[in-house]
Amino acid sequence: MKRRIAMMMACGLLATLTACGSQTHSEGPTSAAAGRQENQEMPAETSSGSEIEASQNSATDGRALVAYFAYSENIGDTSDMTVDAIASASVGSTDNTEGNLQVMAQVIADVENTDVFHITVQEPYDPVYDVMHDRAIEEIDNEEFPALTDSVENLEQYDVIYLGMPVWSGSLPRPVATFLAENDLSGKTIVPFGINLGSGFGNMVNEIEELCPDATLVEGFTISARTANDAVRTEFTQWLENLELNG
């Protein structure tokens, strides 16, 4: 009798252990699958949109910015324009579709690994150069500050500003004046670069100093707008590599 009771108890214990083992085995994969599904459904982190084309500078910890104004990027919708018309608006060589300002901005971005900011106006300029020129002269004479479409975020992170623009009638294009007026560049180093039609920088350097009296302005680089892109790239790259900045 005692043997029968003992056998019955052993069978009951075995059944209990078997049931527990089956329950543990079934819960394992279910938990793992739930974990994988949770990871798949978690949204990936994305950075907020910005007008700046970011390319973090490992050498300077992102402390340099290229900010440039190009006529060809401020003529509105170009979908109906020919390639030659856009090239002409760039005031670059007529056998290239890429403007010299864009060439120099890209050289800086590649060599110095900087961020790039495009200075663009809310009211585009006319793609016909003569019409644009009349408006530009009026803005210069009246010392206007055309409204821009975007602004630089976290400007305080930059110590050096590479400032690019065409020389318009020996003066600073007024959209660039707006950029300088809207941003406090005190304590920063400004490196001007640009294109001209024979005037060099004209009065541009003095105008930058007036708008940014507490910034350090170094000698910049300007070249004829009619210079071929490849020649500009070569000459400007050499100049940039020899540029020495304090700090």
Q: What is the per-residue pLDDT across 176-203, written as a single tens digit (0 to 9) for each? A: 999 999 999 999 999 999 999 998 999 9
Looking at residue 81, what is its pLDDT?
Answer: 62
User: For helices 174-182 and 204-211, what crossing angle results, to 10°?
Assistant: 20
Residue 101 vs residues 3, 5, 22, 61, 134: alpha-carbon distances, Å:
100, 97, 72, 25, 22
pTM: 0.71
Which residues, in sequence order, are bridge partners of residue 8?
none
With beta carbons less than 8 A apart as the criterion, state whether 115 and 51 touch: no
Alpha helices in 42-115 (DSSP H): 83-89, 100-112
Q: What is the per-residue pLDDT across 76-120, written as a single tens digit (0 to 9) for each? A: 776 666 656 555 555 433 334 359 999 999 999 999 999 999 999
Rounded to an integer, what distance in angstroms lies between the CA atom of residue 165 and that of residue 112? Answer: 19
Given a cut of 70, is residue 41 above it in pLDDT? no
